[in-house]
Amino acid sequence: MNNLKREKILIALCCIVYFTSYITRHNYAAALAEIVLDMNITKSQGSFAMTGMFITYGLGQLISGFLGDKCKPHKIIFGGLLATALCNMGITFLHSPISMTVLWCINGVAQAMLWPPLVRIMAENLSENYYRKACVYVAIASSIGSISVYLFVPICIILSGWRLSFFIPAVISITVSLVWIFTEPHYTIIYHTKQEPAKNPEDYQKKAKQQSLWSIILFSGSIPIIFAIICQGMLRDGITTWMPTFISEHFALQTSVSILTTVFLPLFSIFSISAASWLQKKCNNDITASILLFIIAFLSGLILFFFNNTSITISAFCMMLITGCMHGINMLLISRLPIHFHNYGRISTISGLLNTFTYVGSAISSYGFAVFSEQLGWGFTIGLWTIIALLGAITCIISLPRWNRFIK
């Protein structure tokens, strides 16, 4: 098999895995509005499982990132797919918010076993050109996963209730785990994607790998980037989680209909991810492209703040634009940035670390936006989204000089 065909098949396998990750993780968010009504609980009670999952997913990223650089990454992914299938299956038998929260927290750990090892596999087995393409394709696969969730969850609710929306992804995850473990080893070889410095490359790489993680983070200017990633996580998952509830409460629609409207968020994100990739090529810098996307999100937030009461079309479009920008930023800062740490032997570790802070933001937003919307109203919450987008742009601007020195 020629190398080009091998790389394409490997990318397809990675896309399938990440698609499965999304349908087994975001189905709870998609069904949340119906779960709250069916179980007669408050929005904040219903959000406990989401908040807990985001916390365990984020913390699990640190462990998974470290293990992904030390162990065989394809086996970690196989274990994660099986574990998340069992968690989804288990939810169908539970009837209390507490037990559902506990199991969904375990699902967060299972989900954390997927992304950092996947980044290492792509970085070490794909040429630089195909790695960049893979980042886009995998991000699009995640959006297709979200689209699938927001299409089949309302159908499941209508046909049989929200529990069916956990059973179907569980079956899919088991199937994909078996395909992965028996197929992936045939399409992976160690293919270094970055050229080592011409002068004493072995000595350089040895010294680079001996540096501590903290010194690498400081040298690269990643601390402000981490704060930008938190802002991105808050907006991306916060708006996605609560858009159905916002639409339902604001415009008096049934929950199944309001959930269905949310399908436009990931649909628009496919365009946004492609646009972000194009923008990165024009800027030739991931951070600069992220700044521009945060500014677009800020302007969209301002429009949403002043016109959210006037039209469902304007509200939905602005929320689509904000979350689309966040998906683009996620692709740039979470998927592409780790490749710059190849010489340090920390691709999986950095990927896990950065993704951890995405879900720090997600955990804050899933519960925090519920409380703010209940106590202070949607107007205040939308204003908060706008400020968060502005803070994301500012922190990226702060990181830019040091990051430019690092990549050069």
8-23 pLDDT per residue, tens: 899 999 999 999 999 9
- 195 in a domain, yes or no? no
pLDDT digit string (tens) for 44-96? 788 788 888 888 988 898 888 888 777 788 899 999 999 999 999 999 998 88
| Contact between residue 318 and residue 264 where contact means Cβ atoms under 8 Å apart | no
Considering the domain boundaries, does residue 194 fall inside one?
A: no
198-216: average pLDDT? 57
* Residue 192 placed within a domain: no
Determine phi and psi for 199, rounding to 5 degrees.
-95, 115
Contacts of 174 (CB under 8 A, 6+ apart): 81, 82, 85
What mean pLDDT, rounded, does the chain reach? Answer: 84
Does 219 map to a domain? Answer: yes
Asked whether residue 80 is domain-assigned, the answer is yes
What percentage of the chain carries pLDDT values higher than 90?
32
Position 47 in a domain = yes
Task: Note the pLDDT tens digit of each residue in 209-239.
Answer: 567 777 888 877 789 999 999 999 999 888 8
Confidence of residue 1 (pLDDT cuts 50, 70, 90): low
For residue 270, give the CATH number of its domain: 1.20.1250.20
CB contact set of 177 (below 8 Å; sequence gap of 6+):
78, 81, 82, 85
pTM for the whole thing? 0.77
**Residue 209's CB: how many other CB atoms inside 10 A?**
11
Is residue 188 scored above 80 in pLDDT? no
Mean pLDDT of all residues in 172-192: 82
How much is the pLDDT for 192?
A: 39
CA–CA gap between residue 100 and residue 98 (Å, rounded): 5
- Summarize the confidence of residues 101-107 as an average pLDDT: 94
In a domain, 145, yes or no: yes
Q: Measured between alpha carbons, how far is 220 from 390 in angstroms, rounded to an integer? A: 22
The residues, ordered by sequence, that sit 6+ positions from 50 with a Cβ below 8 Å of its Cβ are 28, 29, 32, 104, 241, 366, 367
Q: Residue 7: give the domain boundaries.
A: 3-186+208-407
Other CB atoms within 10 Å distance of the CB of residue 309: 11
pLDDT by residue (tens digit) across 265-292? 777 888 888 889 899 888 888 899 999 9
Quote the CA–CA distance of 122 and 326 in Å, as a whole number: 22
The structural domain count of the chain equals: 1
> What is the end-to-end Cα distance of the chain in Å, rounded?
36
User: What pLDDT does residue 195 have?
Assistant: 39
Please report whether residue 399 resides in a domain.
Answer: yes
